[in-house]
Amino acid sequence: MTTTIKDVARAASVSIATVSHVLNGTHYVSPKLCERVWDAVKETGYCRNPVAHGLRTGRTNLLGLMVADLAALSFPSIVRGAQDVAAAAGYSLVLLRPEGPGAQHLLAMARRGMVEGLVLDVAGIPASDVAALSESGIPTVAMSSNAEHWDIDVVVTDEAGGVCLAVEHLVELGHQRIGFVGGLPDSQTAAARYAGYRQALARHGLAYDPAIVAEAPLTRYGGYRGAKSVLAAPSRPTALIAADDSLAAGALLALQDAGLRVPDDVSLVGCDDVRVADLMTPTLTSLALPWYEMGAQAAKMLLERVSGYENGPGRTITLAPKLVRRQSTAAPST
């Protein structure tokens, strides 16, 4: 019922081989026939069946995007980045879930050619699964919050470097006592951010004081409790870094509860969620993670693999967060 290459060939009185050649420009065809073919295409409203094309050529123009947690804040930006570059190359994204009843089918899909390659957000995916995937031979690029040792392309966010940025910003403003409210150390991201804090302190010759460091679950209440404990320190910090914007929201509340003004009495830096940071009062100076860029770079590297343009060993590219200055940071009141 839908029109095929045969219909076009018939309408143009040529062979299907010729139709294919003019459509794909894969071989010289005389102008006369070309014109007849194009006319026939227009007339019949033909467009090629991508499934048949995919079977024949092995190219489906589909890239798999595998992320465990669609509710993660990073998800929309990663998708946008990946889709923007994929679309520019004529590719679409198919959303794959790493677990659940469909996992087998999806892996099969990847292995057997429904998607040409995989962009993988390793967050929430068991390392063994990632390893298996990376060994499966299907082109894969991983997005991660820390460097990995698989021999595949990976784009990693420099979490530690981001926190360094925050510390530097505060130091430049004149702060010397900078507190830290981080996530529970069971998450790699949280650990990396904490490491960045320690590193930056050392780099600037600032003493590390456990009394102004707190670890808490990544919730508003966690931030509230964490900040409260930090404020109870014998000598309270003039600035606070919260490793997440939920933590920051809670910390802000704790500061207000304690009668402290932000940024007049205490400066506050958050992390992650641009939207929340923008809507808080005061608006929050915050670390913006390069999610869009990660998606874009991952797709770019993957496209280089599936096109055969690149076939060397796994590459790693590191992307830095950006510090977005808003109202919540200022010089310390002396």
**Residue 281 interaction partner, one of a copy of itself, DNA, none, beta carbon < 5-8 Å per kind:** a copy of itself
Query: In 161-288, where do the E strands start and end?
Result: 178-183, 213-216, 239-242, 267-271, 285-288
Q: Which residue, chain included where needed, has tokens 């068991």?
A: 126
29, 40, 85, 106: which one contacts a copy of itself (CB under 8 A)?
106
Asked if residue 111 binds a copy of itself (CB under 8 A), the reply is yes
Asked if residue 33 binds DNA (CB under 7 A), the reply is yes
From the CB of 39, what's the least distance to DNA, in Å?
15
Distance CA 52, CA 27 (A): 20
Nearer CB in complex with DNA: 15/136? 15
Part of the chain binding a copy of itself (CB under 8 A), chosen from 63-71, 172-180, 234-242, 324-332: 63-71
From the CB of 105, what's the least distance to a copy of itself, in Å?
6
Cα separations in angstroms, 23 against 3, 51, 58, 217: 15, 16, 18, 58
Question: How many helical (H) and strand (E) elements, i.e. helices and strands, does the chain have?
Answer: 13, 12
From the CB of 36, what's the least distance to DNA, in Å?
9
186 burial type by CB count under 10 A (0-12 exposed, 13-18 middle, 19+ buried): exposed
Bridge-based pairing of strands 267-271 and 239-242 is parallel
Asked if residue 28 binds DNA (CB under 7 A), the reply is yes
Asked if residue 132 binds a copy of itself (CB under 8 A), the reply is no
13, 24, 30, 281: which one contacts a copy of itself (CB under 8 A)?
281
Asked if residue 114 binds a copy of itself (CB under 8 A), the reply is yes
**Structural tokens at position 174:** 């004149």
Using CB under 7 A, which residues numbered 48 to 67 contact DNA?
Answer: 48-49, 52-53, 55-57
Q: What residues have CB less than 8 Å from 244, skipping those under 6 apart?
A: 183, 218, 223, 270, 271, 272
Kind plus residue range of the DSSP H or E element containing 277:
helix 274-279
Using CB under 8 A, which residues numbered 74 to 103 contact a copy of itself?
Answer: 75-76, 79-80, 83, 87-88, 90-97, 100-102
Nearer CB in complex with a copy of itself: 67/201? 67
Distance CA 268, CA 244 (A): 11
Where does this chain bind DNA (CB under 7 A)? 2, 4-6, 13-18, 20-21, 23-24, 26-30, 32-33, 46, 48-49, 52-53, 55-57, 112
